[in-house]
Amino acid sequence: MASPLPPQRTGSRRRMPLVLSFATVSLLMTVGLGTVLGLQIDRAVRQRSVTDLKRTTASSVALAVRMMIVETPQFKPGSVQEELVQVRLINTAAEALVGSGGAVAVEATLPNGFVVGGANGPAVGTMIPVDPLLRSALSGKTSTLTIHRDGHAPDALGERLLRTQGGVLVLQRGVRMTPGGPIAGAVRVYALLAPSNREAASEIRTDLLVLAVGLLIFWLVLFRLVSGAARRIREQSQANEYLALHDSLTGLPNRVLLRQRTDEAIEDAALTGSTVTLILMDLDLFKDVNDILGYEYGDRLLQLIGPRLQAHLRDTDTVARLGGDEFAVLIPDLPDGESPLLVAGRLSAAMAQSFTVDGVLLDVSGAIGVSAAPADAESFNGLLRNADVAMHEAKQHGREITEYAPELNTGSATRLTMLGELRRGIDTPGELVLHYQPKADLPSGAIKSVEALVRWQHPERGLLPPGEFIPLAESTGLIRPLTMAVMRVALAQIAAWAQEGLFLRVAVNVSAKCLSDNTFPDQVLDLLRQAGVPVGALEIEITESAIMSDPERALGVLEALHAAGISLAIDDFGTGYSSMAYLKRLPINDIKIDRAFVTNMDQDASDAAIVRTSIQLAHSLGMSVVAEGVETGPVLAQLTELGCDHAQGYYLSKPLPAGELAEWVRRYDGTGRLLLLTS
C-alpha cells in the first residue's frame, strides 16, 4: 500500500541545522576554552622558567659566595692584607660564577661601587653608581630583577645585554668575609632569559599540542554523542508523528492525515479548478465477521481493505481508515473522463470480491457515500458530513452507492433537531407517555399482565408512535436513558394500580444496547426498590435480534435479571435467527411469536405451521408462548387449540392509556370478550 511520508522528510530536513548549529557552537566553545587554557599554560610555563632561572642563579651565587667565605683566612681587621685578600677573593668568586647558572656577566664591587673584578663587565678600577640594587645587597638581602625586552635595566651593562640578547635577569648579593661578619662587597650577576625562554617555548608548544589534540577528541566524542542522541530523538519524533497520522492496525492514514491532505487538495483545486472527491465506505457485514469468527479475523480483514482499494486508485489518492469499519478515499483531482460515481463504482466492485483470511472466504459489502468539492462543500468537515449523509442514505435504501445531494441533508437536519427535542423530552415528566396493552391467559382469558408501549407527547407534533423516535434513540445512545425513563413510569403505574386494587404485571421493552451494559440489572433493581414494587411484577421483553446480535454478552445481563426474579421474554420471535444452542442456554420465560405469523394464520397454512412449531419448541424448552397481533376471534380460537399460553392483540384491546386500561380491565373481567374467548 502506498504510504508516502512527506511530513517526516520535511521534518528531518528541518531538524538537520540543529546538529550543525550544535557542532558550530560546541566547536567555538571548545576553541575558546582551548585558547584560555593555552594562554594560561603559556603564562605559567614562562613564569616558571623565570623562577627556575632565578632559583638556579641565586643558588649558584650563594654557593660561590659560601665557598669563598670558607677559604678566607683570618687577618687582622682593617689590615692591608685583609683588603687585598678581600678584593682578590671577591674577584675570584665573581670569575668563578661566569657560565654557572646561566650567568653571562659578573661584576664585583666594594660597598662604595668600586669595581674590583668580574667578567664581561665594567673594567676593574672603575666606579659604578650605588643604585638601589647594590644598597639592598649591602643591607644583607639578595635582590633579583627580571627585565624583559620592553623594560629598563638598572645599569649600562644590563642595558647593553638587554638590547643585544633580549631579556635579562640581574641578581645582586652581598659578600661577607667571615660567617656572620660585615658585608665587605657585593657581586652582581647577569643571566640571559633567552635560553630558558627557548626551552619554555618548546615546552609550551608540546603542551599546546597535547591540549589541542585532547580538546579535539573531546569535541569529536561530544559531537558523536549529541548527534547520536539527536538522531534517536529525531527517529522517535518521526515515529510519534507517524503514529499520530496513521491507524495502528492497518497502517493507513487516519482522520488527521486525511484532513490535512483534503485541505491541501481543496486549496489546490481552488487554483486549478479541479474536483476533489471524498468517498466514504462502511462495511455492512463486518460485525458478523467479528462476532462469528472472532476479532483476529476482523482485524486481518480490515488490513486487507486498504491494499484492495489502493489497487484501483492512483498513488496520489489516499485510502484512510476513520475508525471501526469505516474507510474513506480521497481523490485530490479527477482525471479526464472520470467521475466520482465511476470511481466509487470501481471501488464497490472491488469490495464485492471475496476476501480470504486464513483460507476462509469472507464477503463484506460496503455502503458508499460520495461527496465532491467544490460542488457539494468547500471544507473537509463539509465533505465528510455530506459523504456520511449520502452513505447513510445508501444504507437506508439498501443501495451500494449514493452521491450526495442537498435534498438528503434535510433529513439529517430534522434528525438533529429531533435528537435535541427527544433528549429534553426524556427529562421532562409527562412527555414520554405509556400505553398499556393487555395480555390474556389462554384458555381462561384472565388478564394478569400488560405490555407498556411508549409514545412521545411532542410539544408541537402531538402524540408520536415509537416508530418515529425509537430508531433515532437506538442509533444515538439515547435509548438507555429512554428505557430507564419508561421503566420508572411503568413501575410507578404498577404501584398506582395496586393502590386501586388492580394487580397487574407490566412488561417493558428493552433494547439490545442495555444488554451490553453490565450495570443494567442493578439499575433495574434500584428502580424497583425506589418504586416499592416486587420483582415479580416486572417483565422484560427483548427482541430476538437484540439477543442474537451478541448472545455471549447478553447472557450475563439476562442471567443477572433472571436470578433477581425478573421474568424475561423474547420479543418478535421468528423474525431473527435464533440459534437453538443459545435458546437452550438463555434463562427465558416466554417467547412472543411475531404478529407477522399470527395475524393471518387462520388463512395461511405456513404461518400456522410456524406458530405450531414455535409453540412446541418453546414448550419443549420449558418456556411459555405469547401470540402477538391477534386481531380476530378465529385466530384466538386456533391459538387456544394449539396450546398457546397467552394472546395479545387488537381483538382484545389496542394499547390504552393507563386510566382507560384500568377501566377496560374492570369491564372485561365481568362479561364482554371473556365470553367470546371461551366459546
Interacting residues with Ca ion (CB under 5 A): 509, 541, 571-572, 628
Selected from 290, 509, 624, 638, the binder of ligand C2E by CB under 6 A is 509
Residues paired with residue 115 on neighbouring β-strands, in sequence order = 109
Which residues, 6+ apart, have CB-to-CB distance to 545 below 8 Å? 512, 572, 575, 576
**From the list Ca ion, ligand C2E, none, partner contacted by residue 376 (C-beta under 5 to 8 A by kind):** none
Residue (421 or 539) nearer to Ca ion, CB:
539
* φ, ψ at 575 (rounded to 5°): -90, -25
Residue (155 or 572) nearer to ligand C2E, CB:
572
Distance CA 569, CA 579 (A): 16
Give the shortest CB-521-to-ligand C2E separation in angstroms.
Answer: 17
Which one of 43-51, 103-111, 466-474, 633-641 is the stretch in contact with ligand C2E (CB under 6 A)? 466-474
**From the list ligand C2E, Ca ion, none, partner contacted by residue 629 (C-beta under 5 to 8 A by kind):** ligand C2E
**From the list Ca ion, ligand C2E, none, partner contacted by residue 465 (C-beta under 5 to 8 A by kind):** ligand C2E
* φ, ψ at 315 (rounded to 5°): -65, -25
**From the list Ca ion, ligand C2E, none, partner contacted by residue 544 (C-beta under 5 to 8 A by kind):** none
**From the list Ca ion, ligand C2E, none, partner contacted by residue 129 (C-beta under 5 to 8 A by kind):** none
Which one of 98-106, 313-321, 464-472, 517-525 is the stretch in contact with ligand C2E (CB under 6 A)? 464-472
Q: Cβ(655)–Cβ(675) under 8 Å?
A: no
Q: Tell me 130's DSSP state.
A: -
Helix (H) or strand (E) holding 76: none
User: Pick from 589, 515, 509, 524: which is nearest to 555 by CA?
Assistant: 515
Residue (582 or 650) nearer to ligand C2E, CB:
650
Q: Are strands 462-464 and 505-510 parallel, antiparallel or unpaired?
A: unpaired
Q: Report the sign of the C-alpha dihedral through residues 400, 403, 405, 411, in that order.
A: positive
Distance CA 486, CA 452 (A): 8
Residue (134 or 542) nearer to Ca ion, CB:
542
**From the list ligand C2E, Ca ion, none, partner contacted by residue 306 (C-beta under 5 to 8 A by kind):** none
Q: Cβ(631)–Cβ(650) under 8 Å?
A: yes
**From the list ligand C2E, Ca ion, none, partner contacted by residue 49 (C-beta under 5 to 8 A by kind):** none
Which one of 156-164, 199-207, 286-294, 459-467 is the stretch in contact with ligand C2E (CB under 6 A)? 459-467
Distance CA 187, CA 108 (A): 4
Q: What end-to-end distance do the CA atoms of the chain give, in Å?
A: 73
Binding string to ligand C2E for residues 623 to 662, with x set by CB under 6 A, is what? ------xxx-----------------xx----x-------
Burial label, 17 (beta-carbon count in 10 A; 0-12, 13-18, 19+)? exposed
**From the list ligand C2E, Ca ion, none, partner contacted by residue 393 (C-beta under 5 to 8 A by kind):** none
Give the shortest CB-454-to-Ca ion separation in angstroms.
Answer: 11
Residue (389 or 591) nearer to Ca ion, CB:
591
Distance CA 569, CA 567 (A): 7
Q: Strands (DSSP E) along 222-290, which ranges?
A: 276-283
Residue (11 or 466) nearer to ligand C2E, CB:
466
* φ, ψ at 338 (rounded to 5°): -105, 155
**From the list Ca ion, ligand C2E, none, partner contacted by residue 631 (C-beta under 5 to 8 A by kind):** ligand C2E
Cα–Cα–Cα angle for 234, 238, 243, rounded to 5 degrees:
150
Q: Cβ(312)–Cβ(346) under 8 Å?
A: yes
Q: Cβ(564)–Cβ(532) under 8 Å?
A: no
Task: Based on the shown chain and the rule CB under 6 A, indicate whether residue 547 belongs to the binding site for ligand C2E.
Answer: no
Selected from 50, 278, 280, 453, the binder of ligand C2E by CB under 6 A is 453
* Diameter over CA atoms, the chain: 178
Dihedral over alpha carbons 618, 619, 623, 626 (to 10 degrees):
70
Distance CA 111, CA 246 (A): 100
Task: Based on the shown chain and the rule CB under 6 A, indicate whether residue 437 belongs to the binding site for ligand C2E.
Answer: yes
**From the list Ca ion, ligand C2E, none, partner contacted by residue 454 (C-beta under 5 to 8 A by kind):** ligand C2E
Give the shortest CB-423-to-ligand C2E separation in angstroms.
Answer: 16
**From the list ligand C2E, Ca ion, none, partner contacted by residue 528 (C-beta under 5 to 8 A by kind):** none
Selected from 108, 440, 454, 528, the binder of ligand C2E by CB under 6 A is 454
User: Pick from 87, 65, 79: which is nearest to 178 by CA?
Assistant: 65
**From the list ligand C2E, Ca ion, none, partner contacted by residue 655 (C-beta under 5 to 8 A by kind):** ligand C2E
Residue (366 or 629) nearer to ligand C2E, CB:
629
Give the shortest CB-265-to-ligand C2E separation in angstroms.
Answer: 43
Rg (CA), the chain: 55
Residue (182 or 657) nearer to ligand C2E, CB:
657
Grid cell in block for residue 545: 435480534
User: Pick from 314, 330, 418: which is nearest to 372 by CA?
Assistant: 330
**From the list ligand C2E, Ca ion, none, partner contacted by residue 247 (C-beta under 5 to 8 A by kind):** none
Selected from 17, 182, 459, 465, the binder of ligand C2E by CB under 6 A is 465
Q: Cβ(246)–Cβ(252) under 8 Å?
A: yes
Q: Cβ(578)–Cβ(607) under 8 Å?
A: no
| Residues of span 26-45 touching ligand C2E by CB under 6 A | none
Burial label, 309 (beta-carbon count in 10 A; 0-12, 13-18, 19+)? buried
Number of residues that bind ligand C2E (CB under 6 A): 21
**From the list Ca ion, ligand C2E, none, partner contacted by residue 561 (C-beta under 5 to 8 A by kind):** none
Residue (142 or 575) nearer to ligand C2E, CB:
575
Task: Based on the shown chain and the rule CB under 6 A, indicate whether residue 571 belongs to the binding site for ligand C2E.
Answer: yes
Residue, CB closest to ligand C2E = 649
Residue (247 or 571) nearer to ligand C2E, CB:
571
Q: Cβ(310)–Cβ(319) under 8 Å?
A: yes
Give the shortest CB-533-to-Ca ion separation in angstroms.
Answer: 20
Task: Based on the shown chain and the rule CB under 6 A, indicate whether residue 511 belongs to the binding site for ligand C2E.
Answer: yes
Helices (H) and strands (E) in the chain, counts: 23, 22
Q: Where along the sequence are the contacts to ligand C2E (CB under 6 A)?
A: 437, 453-454, 465-467, 470, 483, 486, 509, 511, 541, 571-572, 595, 629-631, 649-650, 655
